[in-house]
Amino acid sequence: MQTASRFRPDGMARLALYATPICLAAFVGLLYFTYFWDGSDGSSLQSGSVQISGSETMRPVVTTCAEEFMTRNPKADVIVRGGGSGDGVAALLHGIVDIGMMSRELSPRERDYAAAKNIQLSVSELALDGVTIIVNRALAVTALGLDQLQAIFAGKIRNWRELEAGDAEVLAFARADGSGTASLFGDRVLRDEAYAASVQRLPTNEAIVAEVATRPAAIGYTDFGALRRAGERVRAIALRVDPESAPVLPATETIRSRSYPLARTLHFVTAGNPAGTARAFLDFCSGAGGEALLRRAGYVGIERAVQ
């Protein structure tokens, strides 16, 4: 009988009374590590402010990364602004921001300025992208050569009938000066030519998608991620490097292999080696969490070496 008395209901109540705080503490600890611990680089919670500006191509996805990073690190404040790759590196070189976003390579002039100011620039890769040529879905064109694309944006081809794609005046849209996307398009497509006066220059990729989607004779360029966000509103066309080559559509495989002629790398640029919250944010973007967000946004992940 004495042995049986150890299991009386009041004994069970006392056991539950002691066990409840322990279980609650374990549950709270689990929530902490699940939702607030940034395990991508093994560090603890981050705090402080990080200022980022630059590429309009990168702005939407870096903003998404910043929101997720701040969810995991509630005391951190990551502010992301666009403006173009040129504005981003200029703000970095003048100490206005901590991180610049660039959808092109640093120019010799930017490198020379940094060297003159004794600023050691550090460049890290975020993702791969492809400058994507888009047309209105009403246009009967599926592929163009780079020479034909040059002629369109230089104003030498003015009507789609010259390409057997209907009888309508060409309406071309391009990014404004200062854009990394515009810079790459100029280097690889226009080369020694200039944009025709008839080409309308717009500040963002989203603005180009919107215009091309609503104008039946329109052509423009945007980034690969914006193409996914556009859904069925526009259509991407394939590109030929020369008349003898096969046309290549922008896709994950062709961008990664660089067989798509307008493939490129998206970069973060910092002055020196970043530390603290800026370093933690860069590590998050290149870690598993950031890679998942990049792929979901339509960009091509970089195959990084396993440490």
Whether residue 243 sits in one domain with residue 270: no
pLDDT at 123 over 90: yes
CA distance 71 to 64: 11
Q: Are residues 112 and 228 in the same domain?
A: no
| 150 belongs to a structural domain | yes
Do 249 and 283 lie in a common domain? no
| Pair (231, 184) in one structural domain | yes
The verdict on 195 and 228 lying in the same domain is: yes
Same-domain check for residues 168 and 208: yes
155 and 232 inside one domain: yes
CATH number at residue 278: 3.40.190.10
What is the average pLDDT value for the chain, to the nearest integer?
86
Residue 304 lies in a domain: no
End-to-end Cα distance, the chain: 63
Taking only the tens place, the pLDDT of each residue in 166-201 is 899 999 999 999 999 999 999 999 999 999 999 999
Rounded to an integer, what distance in angstroms lies between the CA atom of residue 227 and that of residue 250? 10
Same domain, residue pair 51 and 112: yes
As a whole number, mean pLDDT of residues 93-111 equals 96
Model pLDDT for residues 207-247, shown as the tens digit of each residue: 999 999 999 999 999 999 888 888 889 999 999 999 899 99
pLDDT for res 184: 95
Flag whether 303 is in a domain: no
The band of 304, judged by pLDDT with boundaries at 50, 70 and 90, is low
For residue range 263-295, list pLDDT tens digits in order: 999 999 999 999 999 999 999 999 999 999 999
Give the pLDDT score at 299: 92
Are residues 159 and 142 part of one domain?
A: yes
- What DSSP assignment string belongs to 180-245? HHHHHHIIIIITT----TTSEEES-HHHHHHHHHH-TTEEEEE-HHHHHHHTTSEEE-EEESSTTS
Domain assignment present for 305: no
Alpha-carbon span 48 to 78, nearest angstrom = 8
Three-state secondary structure along 255-273?
HHHCCCCCEEEEEEEEECC
Tell which wins on pLDDT, 140 or 18.
140
pLDDT digits (tens, 9 = 90+) for 4-23: 433 344 443 343 444 444 44
What is the domain range of residue 14? 2-35
CA 291 remoteness from chain centre: 11
Q: Are 59 and 82 in contact (CB under 8 A)?
A: yes
Q: Are residues 193 and 120 in the same domain?
A: no
For the chain, the domain total comes to: 3
Evaluate whether residue 178 is within a structural domain.
yes
Same domain, 136 and 253: yes
Residue 149 lies in a domain: yes
Please, are residues 115 and 108 in contact by the beta-carbon 8 Å criterion?
no
Average pLDDT for 256-260: 95
- pLDDT (mean) for 118-132: 96
Distance (Å, rounded) from C-alpha 17 to C-alpha 106?
A: 64
So what's the pLDDT on residue 225? 86
In this structure, is residue 20 part of a structural domain?
Answer: yes
- Is the pLDDT score of 64 beyond 90? yes
Phi, psi of 179 (to 5 degrees): -80, 135
The three-state secondary structure class of 277 is helix
- Is 40 contained in some domain? no
- Does 242 lie in the same domain as 156? yes
Predicted pLDDT of residue 226: 86
CA pair distance 163, 160, nearest whole angstrom:
5
The pLDDT score that the predictor gives to residue 230 is: 84
